[in-house]
Structure 1
Amino acid sequence: MVTTAADLGVLEQVAAGSDTEGRKRATFAVVPGLAQPRCVSFRAQDGRYLRHSSWRLRLSQDDSTELFRGDATFCVRVGAVPGSVSLESSNYPGAFLRHRGTELWVDPPDGSPGFDADASFRPRPPLAG
């Protein structure tokens, strides 16, 4: 699942039986995009947002700037894997959230066979209330 470690976006095994803190780190409210309401932003339980900065996904406090709003907004696209979505950066059209190993980055497609799969995510119900 998408979660955070040291405020950086990562993929990690988290399930209903995981500890409370782990479930909270992997649960985000999907809200209208801060830069484009037809897209989405992801708000953590502490009020911070997932955003890309220097291309890496991280948790940050909303600083009310246009840059922050763009970095924290993703437009949902059909993913390459059945039942999945891809998340295109609002302020860098053509760049997508993807995993490199367990780390989450925003990158333009590189033409490799695995990129589309690395940029496809299956939505899951929240693990923490």
Structure 2
Amino acid sequence: MHAPEATRLAPVPRVLALLTLTWALAGCPVGTASADACAYASTGPDGSYAVAVAGGSWPTPPPCPAPTPPPCPEPKPTPTPSPKPTPRPSPTPVTYPPYHVQSTGAAAPNRTSPVTYVLLIAVPAIIAVAAFRAR
């Protein structure tokens, strides 16, 4: 009887897992996010300008002038509607062509079964699980 061989690389994943857990719990840089940049743009009758500041003190944007309301347009007279002719019924009744049901046709010969598609996905997955299982 042969005993299973001891692997020399078995401790490596355990050490990597321990280092990752330690880094995630204690070694991650922790701090509050702060916004220390400001930017605004302004367009007006004097032209347009943009301001961008990075750092602690931000300039206050200039006050916006009050907009002047546009002048009201003068109302136009509404035209009087012209009388429309009344529709008259057509002298002959409307006829439609006869309705014929479309045939759906038979299934294509030698088509691939849905079970084949399921097996194409499931069998490699089952083989992979069996090959990579812990021993």
Q: Same fold (TM over 0.5)?
A: no
**TM-score, normalised relative to structure 2:** 0.16
Greater per-residue strand proportion: 1
**TM-score, normalised relative to structure 1:** 0.16
Greater per-residue helix proportion: 2
